[in-house]
Chain A
């Protein structure tokens, strides 16, 4: 708290900020003079704050820009308002690299000009709408005015490398495997990667705009489809934001069931990733073994929860399912079985020197870079970051649990492999406690009609890391603004650093070790 109050009093004395009457749990809200927006970021960075999320809102005559920063579990929501006619304010990117793509997204979607932003290029906008159109402005209709056929985005000015023997490899948007679309532009010499530039936005579906006018249940359904592998995480963040906006508390049993599903989602995804990392270096045995374990858990999901990926089970006010005592026994047995299987498998993997040869020292992300980029989840934690919302800013039911946060510090693909294993073990321990202590009672509370202007912030630890979701209600309890920030926003740029000096054929395994969500950032 001292760092927090020191920082605040410094800014207050300098007249940069004033306290806002509203509090958006867990964040304190401060109003910033627009011209001091960049300056404030500089001070925050110098004081050791982490940039977490940024988004804009159309309030009619003014546009509001939000930046969420965090230190030791304290969240601070910085807000500035600029006139809709000439919206400009200094960029925070020169001080927080993490804000880069977020500000470009806000520029594309709302037409806010971030002065001194180091990158003038568009991010989310391809050729679907014009440069002077901004889909998140209220005057922009949802159907828009798209061309008969959207032309390919072929003139995007990629960074060029020149020199003897330098060549370029364009990859995507349609990749060779069964993965999401995105474009990667490599510059290489021989086999060595000189530079990688990501160009995403291909799966932009207008989620933020689509959310406007939805009712709470409709928003939960949409949130469940922001990123199919994080359906529990995003639905939880959206529901938590809506519940905080209306001030209701969900029944304890509902919160426990949410956590059980979130931990299951973590385990299932980590199992899939560990198998896929092994597959990318040609170790089929592990790929099939992990795939088998994952499938067994997905089947338990279907049989006991009602959906293989646990989609649409989290609803505003609680959960739309319940577990009977027999199901809890089944889940306990499955936990014991998974524990035994992992013991056997990990002993095999640990002794496999060829696997080690491919994973260790490949794709290193230094702790310094991870801090600068604000990397989250397993990407951050395998490079010396220790942040975990479940521990630093716990929400029910994690406020009643002790969450151990594992870490690795080598920052290579091997670290990102083993951190997943450690996180599985932590999640398994949590599941045992959650199942053992599962309180009796209702699983769902009535969700009241939210007041106009009610707003809430949902911050949860998804399997990829911290998810931040902002919700503001408009008329008749319908959504006026929804912004979900997937952890991939901050982890994708790490991949550009990770592959440098590595060989092109190691890109797939580096990419898999980060496993950013395309859909989660394209929105």
Chain B
């Protein structure tokens, strides 16, 4: 146990300020509305249900990274939940495969109103490398309504964070 505490102390605090994350990754300035929310330290909480509707797993890896110590997305009140029934936002990745179409529709229906859908990654935005075919419905908006789109293959955690903040901005407006 002693070694564990030593390691913790030696590691120190790795979580980066949002400003540093943005500067490091040369992210465009966030919208004024979103900036205001950043300054207010996200008083509100956002529950996200992630749905892989056909992704290659690349986006999932980067969404996972949002929870690592560097990004620590929970400090902004953003957390991932296990059920669509607990969610404000569906974060959907991948082109929607035909075999996942019904599951995605049902997940959407199971999410209580008001709800927002983020199409995460190039495939979710426009079908990406896979497009529309006998096996794929292409973009998420071909199956359920989409509010925010995040581009990238896969989007880096910093880009994901910006997209989620954008959704948070819309959430405030919708109220």
User: A residues bordering B, Cβ < 8 Å?
Assistant: 126-129, 135, 140-146, 149-153, 173-174, 176-181, 201-207, 209-210, 221-222, 225-229, 231, 272, 285, 288-289, 291-292, 294-295, 298, 302, 308-309, 311, 344-345, 347-348, 351-352, 517-519, 522
The answer to whether B133 touches A519, judged by C-beta atoms less than 8 angstroms apart, is no
* B68 contacts A by Cβ under 8 Å: yes
Q: Is the CB of A180 within 8 A of B68?
A: no
Inter-chain contact B4/A519, CB cutoff 8 Å: no
A residues less than 8 Å from B4 (CB atoms): 285, 348, 352
Residues of A within 8 A of B68 (CB): 288, 291-292, 294-295
Out of A204, A207, A289, A309, which one reaches B7, CB within 8 Å? A289
A411–B87 Cα distance when bound, in Å, is: 39
A203 with B54, Cβ < 8 A, contacts A178-B64, A289-B11, A347-B3 known:
yes
Binding site for A on B (CB under 8 A): 3-4, 7-8, 10-11, 14, 50-65, 67-70, 80, 82-84, 94-95, 97-103, 105-107, 128-137, 153-154, 156
Q: What residues on A are CB-neighbors of B136 within 8 Å?
A: 205-206
A225 and B58 form a contact (CB under 8 A): yes
Q: Which residues of B contact A295 (CB under 8 A)?
A: 65, 68-70
Known A143-B132, A176-B83, A178-B63: A150·B102 in contact at CB below 8 Å: yes
Q: A135-B134, A311-B153 are in contact. Are A146 and B98 (CB under 8 A)?
A: yes
Known: A128-B134, A174-B51, A309-B154. A151 touches B102 (CB 8 A): yes
Are A519 and B135 in contact (CB-based, < 8 A)?
A: no
Chain A residues in 8 Å Cβ range of B131? 210
Q: Give the nearest-CB partner of B10 in chain A.
A: A344
Instruction: Give the shortest distance, in Å, between B80 (CB) and chain A (any CB).
Output: 6
CB pair A229–B58 under 8 Å, yes or no, is: yes
- CB contacts (< 8 Å) of B8 on chain A: these are 285
Residues of B within 8 A of A153 (CB): 99
The interface residues of chain A, by DSSP majority, are classed as loop
Q: Which residue of A lies closest to B71 (CB)?
A: A295
Partner of B103, one of A174, A180, A298: A174
Also in contact, A149 and B70, with CB within 8 A (given A285-B8, A344-B7, A519-B57):
no
A222-B135 in contact given A180-B57, A203-B99, A295-B68 (Cβ < 8 Å):
no
Cα of A394 to Cα of B54 in the assembled complex, Å: 34
Collect the chain A residues with CB atoms within 8 Å of residue B65's CB: 291, 294-295, 298
Known contacts A228-B60, A292-B11; A178 and B3 CB within 8 A of each other: no
Q: A180-B57, A203-B94, A295-B65 are in contact. Are A143 and B102 (CB under 8 A)?
A: no
Assuming the A-B contacts A181-B103, A225-B129, are A344 and B154 also in contact, with contact meaning beta carbons closer than 8 angstroms in the complex?
A: no
